[in-house]
Structure 1
Amino acid sequence: MKKLLLLLSICSLSLGATAQQSVDGVRSSTDYAPSTSDSRNNGFGIKGGFNLADLRGGDRSTYEDRLSNLKTYHVGAYAQFGFNDKVSIQPEILFSRKGYDDRLAIPVGSSAPATVRETRLDYIQVPVLFVYNFLDNVSVHVGPQASLLVRAKYAGTDKSISGAGLHSLDYGVVGGLEARIGPARVGARYDMGLADVYKDTSEASRSFYKDVKNGTFQVYVGVGFTN
């Protein structure tokens, strides 16, 4: 978690510095009438990028020696509805692959290398984000998110969501920063799940992790089209 927060801070500073550079021929937020809906914060676009997925939660430390991040991706589309030159609402629909790598325990006295098994959890996600342009071309994004688990894969084999003891519904909050240069967008955010990944049943607890939640750091690029 500390590594993710440090990486988010570095990316945020980089985005802020980049967004301060002027781009000839590109309208800025201040080119629009303030306190009206005549804002470039109206439109739609597509986006995609990198996921650094892991598990988080109260019992995460119990499995610290076995778990590691899973490097995956997300892709989707968004719409943006501006209230004025500073404030807007941005709903999105995303396909996002989460999960983790699980290192099997090595028997005492064995010289064999640890075996790593990958767990993939594919979600359809719908965040609804409050967007505030605190600088000309830099905005903060924060809001709730609902996610539906549509596919689970463990060590290369598809698994039944219910049979594996997985919750099909996840919910959480999203927060991050975004910079815009012309139609291009570059952003970084943290996707924090608040629901347990696995159901708290005796069957699930024998084979899977208990009381853990999704935690995903995302970096993305996108292209927007204003109305």
Structure 2
Amino acid sequence: MKHFALLLAGCALSATAMAQTNGPSGVRSSTDYSPGTSDSRNNGFGIKGGFTASNFRGDDKKNFGNEAIYNTFHAGAYAQFGVTEKFSVQPEVLYSRQGFKGDSPASTAPSGTYTTRLDYVQVPVLLVYNFLDNVSVHVGPQVSLLTKVKEGGTERKIADENNVYGYSYSSLDYGLAAGLEARIGPARLGGRYTAGFADIIKDQNLSRTGQTTISNIKNGMFQVYLGLGISN
């Protein structure tokens, strides 16, 4: 992950230097375009990736011992469509590795403190507002599809059709994302918090999991990312 971040940072800095050296006016801002039109600098697409600090929240969080942050990563692509010189819409497609650490009270889970790893394909659709020329606030809904689950390093099925574990994982998550982003030429640096609204665990059978509820927990994560615009 460190090598990936260093490579992405190097590409972004190189592209920024080229834009400032070869561009007609250096770093462009929203005021370089005609006001009152959709001919905004906020058009184009690019790639992004970075660090994720993931955890969980909800009423049943108290039933997990030694809970801690799971440090991991995310990566993907974005497109941006200008509506005015200040407003734009930005859909993204991201691979996001997240989850949480803790001691589960479920008798069918691994013993001791372990990591529950949840791999998602995320699709946020964000409303972007440039309150400064090169600084913007992002907010919008997000839908996520769960593709893989690992408990303590052991991969398990998302569903539990045969009632082996006494609980299943929700294949779909939805929530709200909000954050800030700064731009220098084609490079973007931002931070975002995403709160999931769907329960991570569903179909819990208390007789199989030790008579302690673990179903009311939800995703929560903070992301720091570096992006590189390809066409803007």
Any idea what the Cα deviations from partners look like across 1:163-190, whole Å, max 9, x if unmatched?
2510000000000000001100000000
- Determine if contact 1:102/1:116 at 8 Å carries over to the other structure: yes
* 8 A Cα contact 1:50 1:71, kept in partner: yes
Kindly provide the CA deviation profile for residues 15-62 of structure 1, in whole angstroms up to 9, marking residues without a partner as x: xxxxxxxx7711111111112111110000000011100001223234
Shift of the alpha carbon at 1:104? 6.6
Counterparts in 2 of 1:30-179, with a 5 A limit? Answer: 30-63=31-64, 65-103=65-103, 115-163=112-160, 165-179=168-182
CA distance in 2 between partners of 1:120 and 1:61 (Å): 19
CA offsets 1:140-199 (integer angstroms, 9 cap, x no match): 000001000000011111100002510000000000000001100000000100000000
Matched residue, 2:225: 220
Q: Which letter maps to 2:26? A: G
User: Distance in 2 between the 1:204 and 1:98 partners?
Assistant: 28
Return the alpha-carbon distance in structure 2 between the equivalents of residues 225 and 37 of structure 1. Answer: 19
Instruction: Give 1:186's aligned residue.
Output: 189
State the alpha-carbon separation in 2 of the partners of residues 71 and 102 from structure 1: 13
Give the gaps of 5 or more residues in structure 2. 1-19, 106-110, 161-166
| Inter-CA distance 141–191: structure 2 relative to 1 (3 Å threshold) | same
Rate the CA distance shift 1:204–1:125 in 2: closer, same or farther, 3 A. farther
TM-score when normalising by structure 1 = 0.81
CA RMSD in angstroms comes to 2.1
Q: Secondary structure at the match of 1:35?
A: coil
Q: Distance in 2 between matches of 1:132 and 1:193?
A: 23
- Aligned counterparts of 1:129 and 1:175: Cα–Cα separation in 2: 8
Which of 199, 204, 219 pairs up with 1:196? 199
The structural deviation recorded for 1:116 is 2.6
Contact 1:66/1:104 (8 A) holds in 2: no
CA–CA distance in structure 2, aligned partners of residues 205 and 170 of structure 1: 25
How far 1:204 moved relative to its partner? 9.1
Q: How many Å separate the matches in 2 of 1:149 and 1:183?
A: 31
* Alpha-carbon contact 1:88-1:132 (below 8 Å) kept: yes
8 Å CA contact retained: 1:165, 1:204: no
- TM-score normalised to structure 2 length: 0.79
Q: Taking every aligned residue pair, what percent have the same amino acid on both sides? A: 56
